[in-house]
Amino acid sequence: MARQRSTRSTATGEAPLELSRLSRRAFSALAGTSVLGLALGGSVSSQALPRTGVRGPVPTGPPPGPPGADGVRHRVALDRYSLLIDGRRLALWSGEMHPFRLPSPSLWRDVLQKMRAYGYNAVGVRLAWNQHSPAPGEYDFTGVRDLDLFLRTAAETRMYVVLRPGPYIGADVDAGGLPGWLTAAEGRAGTADPAYLRHADEWLSRVNAVAARHQYTRGTGTVLLYRVDAPRRAHLTRLHDRLRADGIDVPLLHADTPVPWGEAEHTRDAAEARRVHLDHLARGVTLHHVRTAFGGTSWGWLAAPSAPTPTYDPTAAIDEARRPTDKLAPLHQLGQLLRHVPDFTRLDEAPRVRASDARIRVRHLANPDTGTHAYVARNDSATDVTSTLPMGGTDVEVTVPARDAKLFATGLHLGSGRKLAYATVQPMMSLSVGRLDIAAFVGRAGENAHLVLDCPDEPWPTRLDEEAAWAYDHGRLHITVPLAEDRVTRLRVRSGESDRTLILLVADDAASLRLWPYETPSGRVLVHGPALLRDVTLDGATIRLTGDTVEERGLEVWAPRGITHVTWNGEPVEASVGRAQSLMAVWPLPGVPDLVLPALEGWRRRTENPESGPGYDDSGWAVADRRTSHSTTPVPDGQPVLFADDYGFHYGDVWYRGRLTGAADLESVSLAYSTGAHGMLMAWLDGEPLGTHRMGREDDGEGTWTATAGFRLPRALRKRLRERPDVGASLVLSVLVRRTQHDQDAYRAARGLTSVAFEGASPEVRWRIQGAAAPDPVRGPLNNGGLYGERWGWHLPGYDDGDWDEVSSASLPREDRRQGVTWYRTTFRLDVPPDVDASVGLVLDGGPGRDYRAQVFLNGWNMGEYAGDDPTAAPHTFVLPNGILRTRAAANTLALAVLTDGEAVPGPGAVRLELLGGAAGGVPVEPVASPGPRR
């Protein structure tokens, strides 16, 4: 496999501040609103600024409530500390998901609800131009491309939106999101070329017509910020005017915006994620962004060469199968902290402090309004470090794990008359529920948590779980808790000076993922126990909860006063008031039932590539006789343009047929070609295989692989040409090129054949070229390539394969080896209960002797390519998104287009369904349109 040049940054300690690298001191000079208005391209007007009635920074206070399409106009501004929504501070905690990487609109709600539950208050959305535009002037915002539906769903799930429509978005997408037709159009992308700007303006205008209807400033949606693609400052004024003319009035973010935007790039594990994001907090980041919150699938021909596998970002905290991963805990904790502890929305740099062990580096910050101090302690060494750290006038012994970080706090108010003196664990949330004050702290399983509270009046602590211990001494309550795996320890604190009770919760990472705060119009709620909390409704004396369970779990609910009854997913839950003044379920919530997936049987098989035969009728193919190209790849002297994009074939495989005259003495053929990752070429002469060539491991540094495939004619064919010159008078050279993806940063580099040379003869050649047929009107332009079976609908449900050969699953790796393309089709049914969300994958085997490529189609949708030509290739699991996958007793059509070289064992080997995860709950799923062949 060729070496991949990735445009991603690997987070190794210091994650980048994507939009600004300004120091806090430099940024302080930009705190004035007039300067910010200029820096944001005029996006913050005087009318948009908060009317606080005070001079200077907006003081710390309660955050704004969850957003929605509430019909009320809102004022949006920023200062050097945070966003300001109607004069109230909001710490933006944004996670990125790409709707185009989840081609099932019903599941957008699932992911957005999970993101909100895990602490995000905003979703970062990139839009891929190439998904929406199959040809110049043609745009499609329906089906899986329905931007209006996505923005409505975001508002319904109470998530702000940070919109990024490009035109260039990067994101490891083919050509960085630019449409394929732009490779062969006038104008150079990313410049002020008028031809390009006409296309870009048209795209943005189509997006803006939808986005403008969903702006939070207008109260008609939750689009809060708009990130623009302006690589040069000279373009900003024009772009600003363009967007304002389209009705976009939310703040604009761009490369020169002097607002610290902290974007973590693909952290490897939980420790690195925590270290990176805490470092952002310590350096004054205003807008926090997680890339990516949800990975998804680069289905079809979507992926750029920098990410050529269908799975996009396997390090995402919510994985491709919509399951939480181990990396989610620190993101959940920080998101809830920024949401529920307003002290962290306004922090200034405070006097420097040092740990006694220099391996721990400390950043000290303070909130000037509340007196809360924050200490970010970072350990870049390979071992755990225990050291004393001066906090709040006390030397506190703390332990920071290897290559990890911790956030400590002092002076944090925990409710009526109680303040945190210091703690050796991190605060996660502090909220009021009815007459209760609830504070949660998190640490690592196996460590001892030590919390010290300033309590001027002697409290009455009550140990609710046996792990906790406490002592009161000189106005301070000392609490110690040994942290157990996946366990929450609770302590109740009361005193005669207040009618409010403090509930302290101390949890490890695993247990923190079962703590769910939720804001309702009648007050806050905290739920402990289930795998996910999706929604909460207060209905008289009943609290109605919806969510997911994976295994049997208890349910504990802290709710506003007057709530006496609980339902879970519509079913009543028997509950009683516990010692922590919570409603506790008498019986555990049920887990997900066992699911059994069917074996894949009843396969049918058919070979194709008739294009390789000399008698194939190619009269309807495009004539490849152009002499000039828009490509950055030079056209070889004396040869026609053979680049696929110049003839309108931008995605998937492409066929060439050259009619040779005067080739009687031909000895060999050299075929130069250019592809993205996993490129491949097959060649035939008059129907006889010449061989298969795969790209090597070296590329040109721009995500493009080039090579020359040299084929010597088979001895028998050379002999026949010599003995019968009339045969050599007219030969057909057929070439199949798996041209794969455009690079993000060199989108005009050629794909397909680039030149052809002959040895032994100098024949004249007349070329024709054929790629994908017209774009699929439902599945979009990146779904199909130019294989014969794709052009004739072999991948579609309802195609009549009754005359295909019957094969059993055991005989898929057949022994009749041939160079070319073989299709396999079968159907299967699932019977998943309606109240279960099952994530199902398709596994293709790799390994020694399995030298093949396979394109996977489910109900006509191209789920991506498996490249099994590496002898060490592991099995790959294709996630089959519900909606495209019919899970409720309906038929599914699975089709595999398998390319083999004629030498290795053909066929994909064992093909099986695998249950990737399941939950009792989920969201209602609507089937995604999957039409069959046109009649």
| Per-residue confidence (pLDDT) for residue 845, from 0 to 100 | 79
Beta strands 122-126 and 92-97, pairing class: parallel
| Per-residue confidence (pLDDT) for residue 230, from 0 to 100 | 76
Give the Cβ contact number of residue 530 at 10 Å: 26
Each residue's pLDDT tens digit, 599-628: 999 999 999 999 999 999 999 999 999 999
Each residue's pLDDT tens digit, 552-564: 999 999 999 999 9
| Per-residue confidence (pLDDT) for residue 653, from 0 to 100 | 98
Residues contacting residue 351 through CB under 8 Å, at least 6 positions apart: 364
| Tokens found for residue 601 | 């049987």
Coarse DSSP helix, strand, coil percentages of the chain, rounded to the nearest 5 percent = 15, 35, 45
Each residue's pLDDT tens digit, 8-32: 333 333 333 343 333 333 333 333 3
> Which is more confidently placed, 325 or 904?
325
The fraction of the chain above a pLDDT of 70, given in percent, is 90
Question: Angle between the 194-211 and 147-156 helix axes, to the nearest 10 degrees?
Answer: 40
Q: Could you tell me how far CA 262 lies from the centroid of its own chain?
A: 17
Q: Which helix (H) or strand (E) holds 653?
A: strand 653-661
| Per-residue confidence (pLDDT) for residue 42, from 0 to 100 | 36
Cα separation, 246 vs 208, in Å, equals 6
Residues contacting residue 54 through CB under 8 Å, at least 6 positions apart: none
Residues contacting residue 678 through CB under 8 Å, at least 6 positions apart: 1, 2, 308, 695, 738, 740, 853, 865, 867
Each residue's pLDDT tens digit, 257-308: 666 677 777 788 999 999 999 999 999 888 999 988 999 999 999 999 988 7
Each residue's pLDDT tens digit, 783-799: 999 999 999 999 999 99
Over range 219-239, report the average pLDDT. 86
Cis amide leading into 292 (omega within 30): yes
Q: Which residue is listed with tokens 């062969």?
A: 184
Each residue's pLDDT tens digit, 164-222: 999 999 999 999 999 999 999 999 998 889 999 999 999 999 999 999 999 999 999 99
502 pLDDT exceeds 60? yes
651 pLDDT exceeds 60? yes
865 pLDDT exceeds 60? yes
Do 511 and 445 meet the contact criterion of CB atoms below 8 Å apart? no
Q: What is the mean pLDDT of the chain?
A: 90
Q: How far apart are the first and last CA of the chain?
A: 41
824 pLDDT exceeds 80? yes
pLDDT band at residue 547 under the 50/70/90 scheme: very high
DSSP 444: -
Each residue's pLDDT tens digit, 438-462: 999 999 999 999 999 998 888 999 9
641 pLDDT exceeds 70? yes
Do 184 and 177 meet the contact criterion of CB atoms below 8 Å apart? no
Cα separation, 60 vs 889, in Å, equals 54
| Tokens found for residue 781 | 């332009």
Cα separation, 289 vs 123, in Å, equals 9
| Tokens found for residue 420 | 């945190």
| Per-residue confidence (pLDDT) for residue 231, from 0 to 100 | 65
Strand order in the sheet with 287-291: 252-253, 223-227, 160-164, 122-126, 92-97, 287-291, 261-265
702 pLDDT exceeds 90? no
Q: Hey, what amino acid is at 500? A: R
Over range 622-636, report the average pLDDT. 96
Cα separation, 281 vs 361, in Å, equals 14
335 pLDDT exceeds 90? yes
Over range 744-764, report the average pLDDT. 95
pLDDT band at residue 92 under the 50/70/90 scheme: very high
800 pLDDT exceeds 50? yes
DSSP string, 445-457: TTSEEEEEEE-SS
Cα separation, 571 vs 567, in Å, equals 5
Do 645 and 843 meet the contact criterion of CB atoms below 8 Å apart? no
> Which is more confidently placed, 230 or 918?
918
Each residue's pLDDT tens digit, 117-167: 999 999 999 999 999 999 999 999 999 999 999 999 999 999 999 999 999
Each residue's pLDDT tens digit, 41-83: 333 332 333 333 345 689 999 999 999 999 999 999 988 899 9
| Per-residue confidence (pLDDT) for residue 728, from 0 to 100 | 59
Over range 813-837, report the average pLDDT. 89
Cα separation, 221 vs 752, in Å, equals 45
Over range 664-678, report the average pLDDT. 94
Residues contacting residue 26 through CB under 8 Å, at least 6 positions apart: none
| Per-residue confidence (pLDDT) for residue 410, from 0 to 100 | 98
Q: Could you tell me how far CA 696 lies from the centroid of its own chain?
A: 29
| Per-residue confidence (pLDDT) for residue 282, from 0 to 100 | 94
Over range 660-669, report the average pLDDT. 92
The fraction of the chain above a pLDDT of 90, given in percent, is 78
Instruction: For residue 430, give the nearest of 303, 310, 369, 515 by alpha carbon.
Output: 515
Instruction: For residue 510, give the nearest of 570, 444, 563 by alpha carbon.
Output: 444
Cα separation, 496 vs 550, in Å, equals 42
| Per-residue confidence (pLDDT) for residue 15, from 0 to 100 | 38
